[in-house]
Amino acid sequence: MTAPKVAVVGAGVIGLSTALCITETSPSCSVTVLSDQFSPNTTSDAAAGMLIPHTYPGTPIHVQKQWFKETFRYLFAISNSAEASEAGIHLVSGWQIFKSTPKEELPFWSDVVLGFRPMSKAELQKFPQHQFGQAFTTLKCDCPPYLLWLEKRLKANGIQMYTRKVTDLWELHSEYNIVVNCAGIGAHQLVEDKKLFPIRGQVLKVLAPWVKNFIRDGDGLTYIYPGMHQVTLGGTREKDSWSLSPDPGTTKDIFDRCCSLEPSLREAQDIKVKVGLRPSRWCVRLQREVLSQGGVKLPIVHNYGHGSGGFSVHRGTAKEAARLVRECIASLQGSSSRAKL
């Protein structure tokens, strides 16, 4: 097999970064991205893209930490280069605040972000309802810029991208040798994964360029994340809600909650509303599978179910997926040479 044909299904941050890693580690592959949605209409486009990990109950912590470290290192280098503004990657400092002191004062990622420390009493005075807080500096990936930048890198590497709704992975078996499933919430239908469920998030994107620091309530429900052009105000975590329509009552509630943390947001302009369905799962499904029908095999690499932590671990899981693709290629080459004997 000289040039294995790999299809990556999904063009959110996971699909695009996985496609990029595959071309980096297996340059002989011909990679094609297939998705029914591209930026600015992916789940990733609704996200703020903050590098603050979500904890997956079903994945060992050291693995999650490795993914986060990998992702942080990769983005840190871009943020410090001439490409930073095009890629939409920038450092941002701020505070995570808690109404009552959390059980775990030192999250597993505290030594990966920069300058992590508890907030001082003086800093906490800005948040009279909160008793405890953590200050740190982390990275933010603005979307669409980051996805568009990934698409540009992919095109430069000769990757083709097509708008196509894949309804069944098997339908690709005649055109491709390996399929990588980065369908995010789409995997619920695509591979009928009932362990995958949406956690609906509504956010506001507003103009408030004087907001330079992030503020996040440790309960994960209220957050203010300043991006290049807009500030993302959040949010909601509605388990099992599939609705992509913005809810006006929720909009007002998000706005009020954020204004109580940052009163100057009352002057924010140009409020836009977005909704995304976090592809949530007990653990990220990052594994190989082989589909077979009538003696024909189709190797699959799954890379989906990143929930609210997609941006935080995307590069780490993409690299692991690319490694699994290499394994698939090696297997295919092994079996094809066996077939020749």
195 vs 229, beta carbon nearer another protein: 229
Q: Is 317 in contact with 64 (CB distance < 8 Å)? A: no
90 vs 164, beta carbon nearer another protein: 90
Query: Rule CB under 8 A: which of 46-85 touch another protein?
Result: 79-85
Q: Does 122 bind another protein (CB under 8 A)?
A: yes
Cα–Cα distance list, 284 to 64, 112, 279, 316 (Å): 10, 20, 9, 12
Structure tokens at 81: 């280069």
Q: Does 135 bind another protein (CB under 8 A)?
A: yes
Min dist CB 278 to another protein, Å, is: 25
Cα–Cα distance list, 312 to 39, 44, 75, 209, 336 (Å): 19, 12, 10, 24, 38
Q: Does 90 bind another protein (CB under 8 A)?
A: yes
Cα–Cα distance list, 35 to 8, 137, 163, 210, 310 (Å): 8, 34, 5, 37, 17
Q: Which residues of 124-145 are buried (b: 16+ CB within 10 A; e: fewer)?
A: beebeebebbbbbebbbbbbbb
Letters for 294-333 (x = contact with another protein by CB under 8 A, - = none) are: ----------------------------------------
Min dist CB 262 to another protein, Å, is: 9
115 vs 249, beta carbon nearer another protein: 115
134 vs 303, beta carbon nearer another protein: 134
91 vs 221, beta carbon nearer another protein: 91
Q: Strand 214-217 vs strand 89-98: parallel, antiparallel, or unpaired?
A: parallel
Between CA 149 and CA 157 the distance in angstroms is 13
140 vs 285, beta carbon nearer another protein: 140
Q: Is 13 in contact with 39 (CB distance < 8 Å)? A: no
User: Residue 255: helix, strand or coil by DSSP?
Assistant: helix
What residues form the annotated binding site?
43-44, 166, 223, 278
63 vs 91, beta carbon nearer another protein: 91
Between CA 155 and CA 115 the distance in angstroms is 37
Between CA 113 and CA 65 the distance in angstroms is 11
Letters for 266-285 (x = contact with another protein by CB under 8 A, - = none) are: xx------------------
Query: Rule CB under 8 A: which of 223-242 touch another protein?
Result: 226, 228-229
Min dist CB 81 to another protein, Å, is: 5
244 vs 259, beta carbon nearer another protein: 259
Between CA 235 and CA 227 the distance in angstroms is 16
Sheet holding 5-9, edge to edge: 160-163, 30-35, 5-9, 178-181, 296-304, 285-293
Min dist CB 220 to another protein, Å, is: 22
Q: Between helices 310-340 and 61-79, what is the axis angle to 10°?
A: 100
User: Residue 72: helix, strand or coil by DSSP?
Assistant: helix
Q: Does 106 bind another protein (CB under 8 A)?
A: no
Q: Quick one: which of 30, 55, 93, 251 contacts another protein (CB under 8 A)?
A: 93
Min dist CB 84 to another protein, Å, is: 4
Q: Does 257 bind another protein (CB under 8 A)?
A: no
Q: Does 91 bind another protein (CB under 8 A)?
A: yes
Q: Tokens 């799954």 map to which residue?
A: 302
- 103, amino acid identity: K
Q: Does 209 bind another protein (CB under 8 A)?
A: yes
Q: Does 221 bind another protein (CB under 8 A)?
A: no
User: Residue 185: helix, strand or coil by DSSP?
Assistant: helix
Binding site for another protein (CB under 8 A): 79-86, 88-94, 114-115, 117, 119-120, 122-123, 126, 135, 137, 142, 209-213, 226, 228-229, 263-264, 266-267
